[in-house]
Amino acid sequence: MPTITLPTPSGLQAFTTSAPRVFPRAVPPFPRVALAAAHVVADPLAEHDPWLDAPIDWDRTIAFRKHLWSLGLGVAEAMDTAQRGMGLDWAGAQELVRRSLDAMQDHPGAVMASGAGTDHLAPGPDVTIDDVIRAYEEQCETIEKLGGRIILMASRALAKAACSPADYERVYARILGGVKQPVIIHWLGEMFDPALEGYWGNHDHYAAMETALAVIAGSAAKVDGVKISLLDKEKEIAMRRRLPSGVRMYTGDDFNYAELIAGDAQGHSDALLGIFDPIAPAVGGALAALAAGDLAQFHGILAPTVPLSRHIFQAPTRFYKTGVVFMAWLNGHQSHFTMVGGQQSTRSIQHFAELFRLADAAGLLSDPDVACARMRALLATHGVA
């Protein structure tokens, strides 16, 4: 196996890669719903302002969705992993959803749900709760007209405009009352987006949970599930145990997903995760093992991916997309390491070097020769010969 010299906090060290792992063949149906929030591939040759514009390589972006479907995973489209609100605007999101829905027709049984939010409405002192409702309705109606299912994203504008939990209850009751199919509600924590601090009208997560649970209970027939992204398994489990019958908990915990998906005597979580993008082959294999009743193999596959995920999602957590795209580049899903909004610059070379080592330990470098060649190119741009 190839050897590469990587930086460490104590200096440069040689690192010998391992052979990629071979995972069990993933053939749905699985005992858990598993949605991978997918990234977008930038077009590096487009003439644009890298910090302001978001040119997309549509062919490679859609090819990656087909890769996820081929592994038995569903796709959570136009979410924060696709840099929604950090490069991808609502116009780009609409095009992304349309193209992905079209591509899904070639994959019988494929599953996809798409983010509807208010990101075309800039938060500000003059924005009212009625403005937020209209913005949500516009995006929900657009996705439904395209034939898509909805993930109801948290709203920066609502977080800014709301004066109390009652404002959240009013907005969500109105939107849930108008949708045609049950939606997934996404509670995205402030570690992922600082503008969402105090969501549901309270800075204390357990108090905020009471409002979210009241919203869900009031419209349970219109809620497929809730995705909680607080990176705290105890909070997720506490909320999971109080959900109405038939409402799923979709784990958004990129630190503890393996044990939350496995579950306990009182229940389990399904999954809607950004980390499923870079570790998709392992996820498909783990779910195949779970379907076969082999819990030991399930944990054996996912356990090495957890340190990798915790590294990718380390604080500042909102920059996790950089690690996701870095993995896609190492594994040949795109020919470059360029991101919309110039987000490839948000992590250090030490971060990338450790990510490389952890990806290797998880058996997730699909071609170590290619991965090493690409890593050497990145090292060279940072002055590491």
Residue with tokens 């899903």: 333
H/E element, 373: helix 368-381
CB 193 within 8 A of CB 318: yes
376: phi then psi, degrees, rounded to nearest 5: -60, -40
Say whether 216 sits in a helix, a strand or coil: helix
pLDDT over 80 (residue 131): yes
pLDDT tens digits, 52-108: 778 999 999 999 999 999 999 999 999 999 999 899 999 999 999 999 999 999 999
pLDDT over 90 (residue 49): no
Range of the domain at 280: 29-317
Instruction: Tell me whether residue 334 is in a domain.
Output: no
d(CA 92, CA 183): 21
For helices 90-104 and 58-70, give the axis angle rounded to 10 degrees. Answer: 50
Residue 265 tokens, joined:
């005597």
Tell me how many domains the chain contains: 1
CB 37 within 8 A of CB 81: yes
What DSSP assignment string belongs to 237-257?
Answer: HHHHTTSPTTPEEEE--TTTH
Q: Does the pTM exceed 0.85?
A: yes
Residue 74 tokens, joined:
């569903």
Give the pLDDT of residue 71. 94
Where residue 50 falls among pLDDT bands split at 50, 70, 90? confident
Instruction: Tell me whether residue 75 is in a domain.
Output: yes
Instruction: Tell me whether residue 382 is in a domain.
Output: no
What DSSP assignment string belongs to 78-128?
Answer: SSGGGTBTTTB-HHHHHHHHHHHHHHHTTSTT--EEEEE--TTS---TT--
Query: To the nearest whole number, what is the mean pLDDT of the chain?
Result: 96
Buried b (16+ CB within 10 A) or exposed e, 304-327: bbbebbebbbeeebbbbbbbbbbb
Instruction: Tell me whether residue 327 is in a domain.
Output: no
CB 364 within 8 A of CB 20: yes
pLDDT tens digits, 330-355: 999 999 999 999 999 999 999 999 99
Percent of the chain with pLDDT over 90: 95
245 vs 28, which has greater pLDDT? 245
User: How confident is the model over 282-309, as a mean pLDDT?
Assistant: 97
Spatial CA neighbour of 198 closest among 207, 28, 169, 61: 207
Instruction: Tell me whether residue 16 is in a domain.
Output: no
Instruction: Tell me whether residue 377 is in a domain.
Output: no
d(CA 260, CA 267): 9
Rounded to the nearest 10°, the torsion over CA 187, 167, 239, 197 is 50
Instruction: Tell me whether residue 312 is in a domain.
Output: yes
Where residue 21 falls among pLDDT bands split at 50, 70, 90? very high
Residue with tokens 């509600």: 185
Say whether 349 sits in a helix, a strand or coil: helix
pLDDT tens digits, 191-203: 999 999 999 999 9
d(CA 338, CA 308): 21
Q: Is 66 exposed, middle or buried (0-12, 13-18, 19+ CB in 10 A)?
A: middle
User: How confident is the model over 136-145, as a mean pLDDT?
Assistant: 98
User: How confident is the model over 119-128, as a mean pLDDT?
Assistant: 96
What DSSP assignment string belongs to 149-179?
Answer: EEEE---HHHHHH--SHHHHHHHHHHHHHH-
pLDDT tens digits, 161-191: 999 999 999 999 999 999 999 999 999 999 9
Give the pLDDT of residue 54. 81
Give the pLDDT of residue 48. 81
CB 132 within 8 A of CB 159: no
Give the pLDDT of residue 382. 93
**Domain holding 304: CATH number?**
3.20.20.70
pLDDT over 90 (residue 294): yes
Give the pLDDT of residue 47. 86
Instruction: Tell me whether residue 3 is in a domain.
Output: no
Strand ranges (E), the chain: 3-8, 11-16, 34-37, 74-77, 112-116, 149-152, 183-188, 223-229, 248-251, 270-273
Give the pLDDT of residue 271. 98
Say whether 15 sits in a helix, a strand or coil: strand
d(CA 127, CA 162): 10
pLDDT over 80 (residue 385): no
d(CA 101, CA 273): 19
